[in-house]
Structure 1
Amino acid sequence: MSATPAALSDLDAAALLDDIEAFEAALEAGGGPIAVVGPPFAGRRRVLDHAASALDVSPTRLDPSTDRETLIGEGPLVVDDCQHLYDRRVGGFEPLTDALDALAGTSTPVVTGWNAHAWSYLDAARNVEDVFTHVFSVRKLPSDELATFVRERSTTLPTFRHDDPDADLLTVKERSLGNGGLTVPIPVVDRDRLRALFEATVEPETAVFDHLTDAADGNPGVALALWERGRSGGEMRPNDVDPPTVDLDHRGAFLLRIVLSQGVVDERALADRFGNALERPLGRLDRADIVTRADGTVRLDPVGVPAAVAVTEQWGFL
């Protein structure tokens, strides 16, 4: 069972920002537009809900089907998933430019939410941070806080065990060469097995949650999904925290970067962009549980976030 953003609905917004007092002061001051930036499933929506409650407005959430021409006006206003204001193609930035121009002229509270991966690209390509009076980032949770978060959402806890420290330290992975489909086997050190050698003196429960935190990069929604994926029977070991992996060529990795940055994408828009080259990588991502295809959309799965980040950064995509 994968975690969804709803699983974070009862997480206090104060736990998600480094400085909730500064955020609330910015809401009260109303001196200009505010950006809240966070990775997928990390709790950004909860922060935006908190802002909407403080401003006594209903939040607007964008998606691929939203009419993007009439979104940003005078505040108070809360608009989440603003990464849907642009498409990563020639001519795809006009709605974003119009929205940023409107935001630049407002002095009332307008709180916007952004996917962190889209934000990093847009700030490099369009200097979006310059428009905002305040930018707040959703923080990563440390292992102790993440462990508390997961425990509170589990009806029963497993018996925690150490991994087998005597397993082979080397494994073989296939790596793509270029776009021609050629792969080569490469021996690599199994970091999980190496970790097991050094965790023998650590309490197994601590080792599991440390591994969970590392795999999820402190993201509570991803951690909860990986926890549910790894639980089997009555025991749990660090290596049961096992994010899916996938090996993609340059085109496939670029496709995945679009999904990672948007969260959910219209499959028809992807077909228009990638044509006959879409089905093979998209099918692999679906089978690997990194994305889910349903109702004409491609949606990033929480357990797929670590692989999506690793693969697209391996290819150097912003």
Structure 2
Amino acid sequence: MKDKIKVGLESFEVSLDQLPLPEIINISSSLPFLEAAKMMKENRIGSLTLGENGLVEGIFTERDVLSKAPAVIENPMICLKELMTPNPLTLNEKGLLSDTMSIMSSKEFRHLPLVKDDSTVSKMISIKDVLKFVTGLFEEHMSIYEPVSDWTKSGVNLQEQAILYDFHKEKGTLSEDVFDIPLKRIVNKNITRLDPSVKIKEAILTLHKKKEALALVMDFETELVGVITERDILYKVFADNIDLNLPISHIMTKNPHVLSQNHQFGNALSNMFQYGYRNIPIVNQEGYPVGNISLLELLMFLSNELGLRNVLKFF
């Protein structure tokens, strides 16, 4: 029987400047929010660093759109300086990936700016960048997980490795069968459900109040007909400057791909990479939504397995 591939923490002691990361967009914090929203949509990004002369004064992300929702709704031309997270945590571009995983999973960051030795901005690392590196360490095993877009309830069976994983895992290591773990062990069940007729403004304020990034759109409280996310709100609402009194059915992603709670970690990653998702609704055997899986949940799980979460040495 072929030995399972295992990696230890040393595999993550990789300098960040060795990774293929995107250049950062650094703009003035005086830019009005609506202009920033349009820029972010045009560049298909979810974060900006703010400052002058290449220095980082703050960071603005799509998460800030919801966390500062009342201010954004009241005055869409508000300056980013009023919305940004000031003096954000940064890492040197020569820092280690293991430190990045520790910070992102512990503080639940989805983006982290990297700076040069002179403190000017360099690049941005995201959760997806980290997860792509991790899966690259197990490329052969991950190849069995092709994207899933159509499946039947009877076609979802747990592989034996998912059951055996807990018996042979070692602290501070990852083995290839971590990707065989069923999603029901990772799913976030704290999820907002909204009717398609709910107005966009009401939906935004609901997500703001609940501090959630996604809502499932349910017809008759039983049928999943769509999802709305932070990115939908940034791109489809504010970047396009549409009427907030329209129903959320106008902006939702209709008939989203879903996975069963018996699908596996590898299925979720494969779908996210293939289709550009950051969230996937999870359903039970009857097809009823029971929660959501995001890139953040996947990173937190892996970081926990490696012993990297909540062990920050920076604070």
Q: Report the TM range for the smaller structure's normalisation.
A: under 0.3
Structure (1 or 2) with the greater helix fraction: 1
User: TM-score when scaled to structure 2?
Assistant: 0.25
User: TM-score when scaled to structure 1?
Assistant: 0.25
